[in-house]
Structure 1
Amino acid sequence: MSNKQQFLIVLALFLGLALLWFLKQDPTLNQLNGMLKADTELQAYPYPFRAIKVENGIATLSSPRSAQVSVLHFFNIAKPGLDTSNPDSPAMIAAQKELAHVQEKAGKLAKEQPGIQDIQWEIDRSWYASHGIKVE
């Protein structure tokens, strides 16, 4: 096989993969993620809320909150200067209210998008894994 033939095969494979990637893009999901990234309040928060999927008018958004992971684990990562030894301290209560507010805003922004009737939340296993915490 000549170098030219090898090059054409590699080029065809590359173009095929690029086409496959392009066809798998979900414009609604991309638009929703773009909108979440554009919000200055969400951008300023240490956790990047994002849309995972959109199906039948329901947007699934990532969340650091879950019964599976203590919010203390989240704050130890996202707000390393926060003293998490006393969950009832004013600083912890304020941090929890801020997280609830920011997550509520992400959900509200998602619901405002055309075609989105409802949202659901899914624990962000990959975010935790990137910080050394395995979520079952």
Structure 2
Amino acid sequence: MLELLRRRRSVRKFKEKKVEEEKIELLREAVLRAPTSRGRNPWQFIFVDDPRLLRALGQAKQHGSAFVAGAPLAVVVAADPERSDVWIEDCSIAAILLQMAALSLGLESCWAQIRLRAHDETTSAEDYIRELVGLPEGWKVACVIGIGYGD
């Protein structure tokens, strides 16, 4: 684990190579094994590999999310705040475990902060993504993790 931590870095430029389905399934397993307060599992992880949707996610906020458009895979990390008062912590733990699992599989990643960020002058980045991926009203989006083979 310490060796992975030493190698981990934020990578925003990815090769066009798709992430293999076997690796995506391992990432799903890893993120679903993340611990949560009282085992409430308030989160949902939306795996996105559709290029059109990736481009739209890259426009989630004015600065700092454009790299997602060039990633072959992104994971929207969201939660129902009614299920846990520490949903932010639960999502953050899951997100970094996802990034470490990606690295262990030879993939690179970068976190795009979404919570408390603006999409434009009238819409929050959370509302923009909630609508984009069809999350229920009231759900919160913590971040989007772009994943792929580093370039």
TM (norm. structure 2) is 0.38
Structure (1 or 2) with the greater strand fraction = 2
Higher helix share: 1
TM-score normalized with structure 1 length:
0.41
